[in-house]
Structure 1
Amino acid sequence: MGRLHSKGKGISASAIPYSRTAPAWLKTTPDQVVDHICKMAKKGATPSQIGVVLRDSHGIAQVKVVTGNKILRILKSNDILHVGGDMIV
């Protein structure tokens, strides 16, 4: 959205942390994260919903930092991929 009385458009955006390693306080193993993802996907959750639950309930900000793979790639490797509304394959 533009400004009313000036020509600026603003540059606000969220920033991904510079550190690409899992935080030291996170005690969840990559296998546990993959198990959580598989269980939620089998219940019908989309990858974006899985990411929100992991972030809010389990303290995992970025799955790729912990496991080395994104949620969609984990689902593909475990053959649990459901083609839904927010997934374009």
Structure 2
Amino acid sequence: MARMHTRRRGSSGSDKPAADEPPEWSDVDEDAVEERVVELAEQGHSPSQIGLKLRDEGVQGTPIPDVSLATGKKVTEILADNEASPELPEDLRNLMERAVRLRDHMDENPGDYQNKRALQNTQSKIRRLADYYRGDELDADFTYSYDTAVELLDDA
């Protein structure tokens, strides 16, 4: 399958090894893992950063290679259960940050046509993703614009 905004094909990535249960060396209590996830979320970390911190630092010095194997829930599910989930989905937030950064660059460099196209592609991805999230994680009347993106990113 080709990429969204080019005719090139993407390079295949590696898959995680199939596992049904956490390794025996990582025997941390589920409640301790959930507490650590909520604690990291309150410190302002995104769900992917939480996963990396648990992999690298762990809980009580024991690394957690896969949160869903250790607890039976994904990081976002744990955050939703404890009412600590972010107000914007992480992928949409990252795209909005990129669009704001590109727009600021375009204001300073109006002749940069490569980044003008990159901004158009990013905004297209944001609109497509907003259609997906509209009604569930976003308001039913949400529409993307530069001003709303700046406002949403400044609030959080």
- TM class by shorter-chain length? 0.7 to 0.9
Show the counterpart of 2:101.
none
Show the counterpart of 1:22.
22
Mapped pair 1:52 → 2:56? no
Q: Secondary structure at the match of 1:31?
A: helix
- CA 1:84–1:18: 2 relative to 1, 3 Å: same
Whichever residue aligns with residue 20 of structure 2, its letter is: R
Q: Deviations over 1:29-88 (max 9, x none)?
A: 111100100101111111011011001111211100000000000000111112246255
Mapped pair 1:62 → 2:66? yes
Show the counterpart of 1:3.
none
Structure 2 unaligned residues grouped into runs of 5+: 1-8, 93-136, 138-156
Show the counterpart of 1:32.
32
Q: Aligned-pair RMSD on alpha carbons?
A: 2.0
Higher-helix-fraction structure: 2
Whichever residue aligns with residue 24 of structure 1, its letter is: E
Whichever residue aligns with residue 75 of structure 1, its letter is: L
TM, length-normalised to structure 2 = 0.47
Q: Secondary structure at the match of 2:57?
A: helix
- How many residues get paired? 81
Structure 1 unaligned residues grouped into runs of 5+: 1-8
CA distance in 2, matches of 1:76, 1:57: 23
**Higher Cα Rg, which structure:** 2
Larger RCO (alpha carbons 8 Å, 6+ apart): 1
Show the counterpart of 2:41.
41
Q: Identity across aligned pairs (percent)?
A: 32
TM, length-normalised to structure 1 = 0.78
